[in-house]
Structure 1
Amino acid sequence: MDESKKGRLRRFQVQVAAWTSIAVLMGAVWISISPPATTSASPQCRCFPGDKCWPDAAEWASLNNSVDGRLIATVPVAAVCHDGFPGVEYDAEKCAEARANWLRPELHYQTMHSPMAPFFANMSCDPFTPRDAQCVIGAYVPFAVNAFTSAHYKTTISFATKHNIRLVIRNTGHDYMGKSTGAGALALWTHNIKHRKVIDYQSKAYTGKALRVGAGVQAFEAQNTANAAGLVVVEGRCPTVGFAGGYTQGGGTSPLGSKFGLAADQVLEWEVVTARGDLLTATPDENADLYWALAGGGGGTYGVVLSMTVKAHKNFPTAGATLTFVEPTDKYWDIVQAFLLNTPAVLKEGGTLYWMVMPGNTFYMPQSYLPDGMATDLEALLLPTIDALDQAGIEYTFKTADYPNFQDVLKTTNAEHDIVEINLGGRIIPSSLFNNNNNNNNNTVASLTGAIRNIVDNGGLVAGVSMAPSRTPESPNSAHPAWRSSSLFVFLGSPHDRKNMTANIVMQNVVTEEFMAPLERITPEGGAYLNEAALNQADFQHAFYGSNYPKLLSIKKKNDPDGIFWGPTAVGRLRLDP
């Protein structure tokens, strides 16, 4: 063994020993929604650090060797902000740097452990707590395999199965629902599987250009590759989200959603490793049930995706618009209602609108997209809202522009995204609320406006994605059926409290019981977006999966009979309490 390999081995052994020495502290920082290790009789019990069944240092070293030295022991990002974490000294300068960049996605997705949703870190090792506060592994995954190949996948799955350890799948950590982390878990880190290629694809359902990407490719990387070939792919608003992971596997909203449908609708095939260690190709014709489940039924649930192939569309000119106004009187809500009534006309032409209703009676539409349209077209489509503002005598800023390609408007109006620290909720709003043939149209939209106002008046935040992914995909998938008759996704919540976890748990109850309830009452045929929703969503099986849940559960049991792939709100989870 050469000296460099010996050095890496020694460092790894030191990390394992250091981690083991603080494993007994894990229980003190257990996230409330994570099931404790109790007895082997429970189907959800897993071996936990400190248990007799937990692998010893030699077994971890053996795993490290079998995955080509790619096992990583967690050292929390904020360890430099505290005393006491083994092998890490307090460093005021590095701590200040961590704090300054804490809301930048890059800080977290370059690690194999740090979640962007702070609730799931559970203040285990936090840069904003005092220097003498605890810094332990806590709610972070203690180990991760930096996977590059299907062999790494299979070995990691086999190890987790043999030792009865919770296995989680992580790419970037862009995850509001806690599926990519977990106390006492082993993470399969897919982030560095970055291959991508434009190909010619032919099947019964589709013939044309396609993009094949590795599991770790992010949205901006996928789009850049497509753009270089004069193409576009359906991606989300945030460019650093993992493209093939929970985003697409959970459905995937998009600026191009009204034109092409959901991200899940674009999938042509998956390359996936199952819980049994089988490497399969899943298409509408081969392993069709697995294809169907992966395309919309939730990430990290039925298998581990190694690569994904999606449709690539010819690029096109795109119009964009922004709108801002502030009005302290109740006329503000009249304009919000007028805007909501205006949106179906834009969606009908393939447009998508992103907007926010904020405290202080501030309305902000930072982005809108009209693919294959002109600025004059978008101005005409939004004219009812502008007329309402003029008639009310409200000052506003409204700008439109033409862009030669889709990515030009995306990059120009879509500013860099900081992490939103929020106690989250969300609702898919059906088109029936906006149906012009409904004689009670104004009253139903008034109810929607009132529900939004209730949230804002009580300290909440509301954002909307006005999008109509109604087109039926060539190959059926498991995306929530509510998407097919929807015109709006409402994203809502209250700010996360960095200093008080109890307050966050209380606020999550406020989100579901006070903010969400009025929306649910007026949208009984709606649903929830399983990537952006309340953690304690009532009847989550129906809310997240609709009528697809029984079939998804059957596919889950077939492909993962021992429940190796687990996550809060994932198919197969019986309930949300521990």
Structure 2
Amino acid sequence: MGLKTPTGLAIALLAAAVACGGASRGSGPSPKCRYLPGDAQWPSPSTWNQLNTTVGGRLIAGRPLARSCYNPGVNPAQCAAIKAEWTELDPFLEDPVNVVAPYWQNNTCSPFLGPNGPCALGNLASYAIRVSTPQDAIAGVNFANANNIRLTIKNTGHDFLGRSAGAGSLVLWTHNLKEITFLKSFKTLGYTGPAVRLGAGVQGSDVLPAAKAAGYRVVSGSCPTVGPTGGFTQGGGHSPLSAKYGLAADQVLEFEVVTAAGQHTTASPTKNIDLFWALRGGGGGNYAVVLSMTVKAHKDGPVAGAGFVLLNDGDSDKYWAAITAWLKHLLVLDKIDGYLTGWTITAQAFFLAFAALPDATSVNDITGPLAPFFAELNRLNVTLAQNGAALSSNYADWFATWAGTVEYTTNNALGGRLIPRTVVQRDLTSLVNVFRDIVEISSPEVGGSALNGISLNVSTSRIGLAGIPGANAVLPAWRDALFTLNFGIPFAPDAAWPALKFGQAWINDKQTKLRNVTPGGGTYMNEATFDNPNWKQDYFGANYIPLLAIKAKYDPNGLFWAHAAVGSDLHWRAQADGRLCRPSGFSRN
């Protein structure tokens, strides 16, 4: 059975800059800025009603989750319930505008700060369209274009960079696009075989049982509530199956999209080829609205799993020697086709939450490669607190036993780094010193920290892309990475804004230290910070310039905008009130 692991780390953020003047009704902002509620140019109630009619009554006014905790209309029972659930994912996942991110929620309507005072949407969308058809998305795109308002896209709101939030925005809420259709044979340029079409609202927890019933495995995230079709795949997307099949972006055969011009079309190896390239790893919510995607489906079969727990018994030097031995051993596991590990390091313990080996024939296939590491632990006089392994008959059962035991909450800040193989081979001491600096926290403002690693081999030779580097827009550093690392700190449910800001600054500081010891590395953009000054190189690398040309072709006026996204600094700048304004010198020509 699965081993107990520490609470998963997940999310959050906000952008600030110089205010754009003239926000009050009557004076209005410069046309160079997107309009916000209160501006004279903000759409009138009748204009919104007309949009509601166009989308068949599926327009929803944004409402903070904690509204019942504030006057007027305090509801003590509802308020108590939302307080109890404030760090749980489900209330945010099922809401059209609220997001899984305390930094982006921004204390504008915290359930712990009422009942008096303001309860505002803050960074959250003013309205949402419950997208049920392509025509709904087209209507939203056309409305945002015609009325000069910000447009955002949300499925679940899992988002470290605040891309699903946006002050005064109209959000296209794709969460109810739940199509899962398996195709025994899908043919496109370079591929003929089984596939599955996934609607933009499908989550990993939807895919797992459906794939099992159809006899397939599908690459989706380690967190079952993440939606594969959105920013997960569009940003790259790692999975417990990635060491066998590659990243999520490597699986895509076709996208169904609505463009910034309001055109419903497809992007594939034969149509809108450049857009297809960009959507596979070039960043979510920035090139088009993705309504569905078709991806490879892989024949199911047995999957072996393993895990263990190693405690720090108070001898920190011995503890970190054991972790150093683990990092060295990853170079051995890296050579085994399909062998992937997910692990966590804290100051108190090291957890191998799961190891996965698809198509294993016995438990020995996954435990045998660990034997040399266990021998090294014996030499160091380190004893495991827990140790287990099992062979599951299919991937969904493996996931329920191992990855499904990891817990996720909303109250975290997160950063990350891809760690090249060469760093572990040549400068492991420097890397471990930064690891210790991150988890051995002495600051009173931070309650604790954890490093979460996924070691996987997604090199072009491993996953069938040898000879065609740049086959998609995935950050090239992924192909040279021994593992991807994220790290974060938890917040108290009632954390105030100064604590959230401190956490963001702390994450960026540690992220910089990791960057300094990992030359040639990068960062998985879905587990990163919005205000990393090196975001273009770290998140996109050599792909940035060609992606910028594709952005200019399909979205020349920047209808789609996201923090640390390709072209974001050219089209708009986020102001202190969340308003988007054109940078000085901006020209559409």
Match of 2:436 in 1: 453
SS of corresponding position for 2:540: helix
Q: CA deviation at 1:559?
A: 0.4
Once residues 342 and 34 of structure 1 are traced to their aligned partners in structure 2, the CA distance between those partners, rounded to angstroms, is 45
1:384-434 CA-to-partner distances (Å, cap 9, x unmatched) read 321122222222121111111111111112226332422221001112223
1:497-537 CA-to-partner distances (Å, cap 9, x unmatched) read 54321232233222222x12231112110011111102221
Q: In the alignment, which of 302, 317, 331 is matched to residue 344 of structure 1?
A: 331
Q: In the alignment, which of 366, 371, 384 is matched to residue 378 of structure 1?
A: 366
SS of corresponding position for 2:282: coil
Within a 5 Å distance, the mapping from 1:528-543 to structure 2 comes to 528-543=523-538
Preserved contact between residue 80 and residue 91 of structure 1 (Cα < 8 Å): yes
Within a 5 Å distance, the mapping from 1:404-483 to structure 2 comes to 404-413=393-402, 414-415=404-405, 417-435=407-425, 441=426, 444-458=427-441, 459-471=448-460, 476-483=471-478
Once residues 469 and 539 of structure 1 are traced to their aligned partners in structure 2, the CA distance between those partners, rounded to angstroms, is 24
Within a 5 Å distance, the mapping from 1:84-483 to structure 2 comes to 84=72, 89-199=73-183, 200-327=185-312, 328-329=314-315, 330-349=317-336, 350-360=338-348, 362-373=349-360, 374-396=362-384, 397-413=386-402, 414-415=404-405, 417-435=407-425, 441=426, 444-458=427-441, 459-471=448-460, 476-483=471-478
1:439-469 CA-to-partner distances (Å, cap 9, x unmatched) read xx4xx12221111111011243211111121
Aligned AA for 1:100?
A
Preserved contact between residue 38 and residue 45 of structure 1 (Cα < 8 Å): no
Taking structure 2 as the reference length, what is the TM-score of the superposition? 0.87
1:81-107 CA-to-partner distances (Å, cap 9, x unmatched) read 2223xxxx2222222221222222211
Q: 1:388 to 1:131 in 2, by over 3 A?
A: farther
Aligned AA for 1:368?
A
Match of 2:42 in 1: 54
1:91-132 CA-to-partner distances (Å, cap 9, x unmatched) read 222222212222222111111011111110111111222422
1:177-210 CA-to-partner distances (Å, cap 9, x unmatched) read 1000111111010010111100120122111000
Aligned AA for 1:122?
N
Match of 1:500 in 2: 496
Q: 1:375 to 1:189 in 2, by over 3 A?
A: same
Match of 2:5 in 1: none
Once residues 258 and 137 of structure 1 are traced to their aligned partners in structure 2, the CA distance between those partners, rounded to angstroms, is 41
Aligned Cα root-mean-square deviation (Å): 2.0
Match of 1:544 in 2: 539
SS of corresponding position for 1:382: helix
Once residues 15 and 541 of structure 2 are traced to their aligned partners in structure 1, the CA distance between those partners, rounded to angstroms, is 26
Q: CA deviation at 1:577?
A: 6.8
Once residues 315 and 347 of structure 1 are traced to their aligned partners in structure 2, the CA distance between those partners, rounded to angstroms, is 22
Preserved contact between residue 102 and residue 500 of structure 2 (Cα < 8 Å): no
Once residues 388 and 376 of structure 1 are traced to their aligned partners in structure 2, the CA distance between those partners, rounded to angstroms, is 19
Does structure 1 residue 76 correspond to structure 2 residue 64? yes
Aligned AA for 1:449?
V
Gaps of 5+ in 2: 1-12, 23-27, 442-447, 576-589
1:264-293 CA-to-partner distances (Å, cap 9, x unmatched) read 000000011100011111111211100000
Q: CA deviation at 1:487?
A: 1.0
Aligned AA for 1:224?
P
Preserved contact between residue 170 and residue 191 of structure 1 (Cα < 8 Å): yes
Match of 1:63 in 2: 51
1:127-148 CA-to-partner distances (Å, cap 9, x unmatched) read 2224224312222111000011
The structure whose RCO (Cα within 8 Å, separation 6+) is larger is: 2
Preserved contact between residue 15 and residue 531 of structure 2 (Cα < 8 Å): no
SS of corresponding position for 2:66: helix
SS of corresponding position for 2:397: helix
Q: CA deviation at 1:41?
A: 9.7
Once residues 206 and 322 of structure 1 are traced to their aligned partners in structure 2, the CA distance between those partners, rounded to angstroms, is 35
Preserved contact between residue 297 and residue 552 of structure 1 (Cα < 8 Å): yes
Aligned AA for 1:543?
D
Q: CA deviation at 1:480?
A: 0.3
1:357-394 CA-to-partner distances (Å, cap 9, x unmatched) read 1133x111111111112321221211232112222222
Q: CA deviation at 1:249?
A: 0.5
Once residues 35 and 348 of structure 1 are traced to their aligned partners in structure 2, the CA distance between those partners, rounded to angstroms, is 50
Once residues 292 and 44 of structure 1 are traced to their aligned partners in structure 2, the CA distance between those partners, rounded to angstroms, is 31
Q: Which has the higher helix share?
A: 1
Q: 1:552 to 1:473 in 2, by over 3 A?
A: farther
Once residues 248 and 452 of structure 1 are traced to their aligned partners in structure 2, the CA distance between those partners, rounded to angstroms, is 28
Once residues 42 and 379 of structure 1 are traced to their aligned partners in structure 2, the CA distance between those partners, rounded to angstroms, is 64
SS of corresponding position for 2:166: coil
Once residues 357 and 301 of structure 2 are traced to their aligned partners in structure 1, the CA distance between those partners, rounded to angstroms, is 10
Between 238-247 and 491-500, report the one with greater CA deviation: 491-500
How many percent of aligned residue pairs carry the same amino acid?
39
Preserved contact between residue 200 and residue 290 of structure 2 (Cα < 8 Å): yes
Between 483-492 and 407-416, report the one with greater CA deviation: 407-416
SS of corresponding position for 1:168: strand
Aligned AA for 1:33?
A
Preserved contact between residue 77 and residue 114 of structure 1 (Cα < 8 Å): yes
Preserved contact between residue 340 and residue 356 of structure 2 (Cα < 8 Å): yes
SS of corresponding position for 1:336: helix
Aligned AA for 1:319?
A
SS of corresponding position for 1:322: strand
Once residues 510 and 75 of structure 1 are traced to their aligned partners in structure 2, the CA distance between those partners, rounded to angstroms, is 31
Q: 1:138 to 1:109 in 2, by over 3 A?
A: same
State how many pairs are aligned.
536
Once residues 34 and 197 of structure 1 are traced to their aligned partners in structure 2, the CA distance between those partners, rounded to angstroms, is 45
Once residues 211 and 375 of structure 2 are traced to their aligned partners in structure 1, the CA distance between those partners, rounded to angstroms, is 39
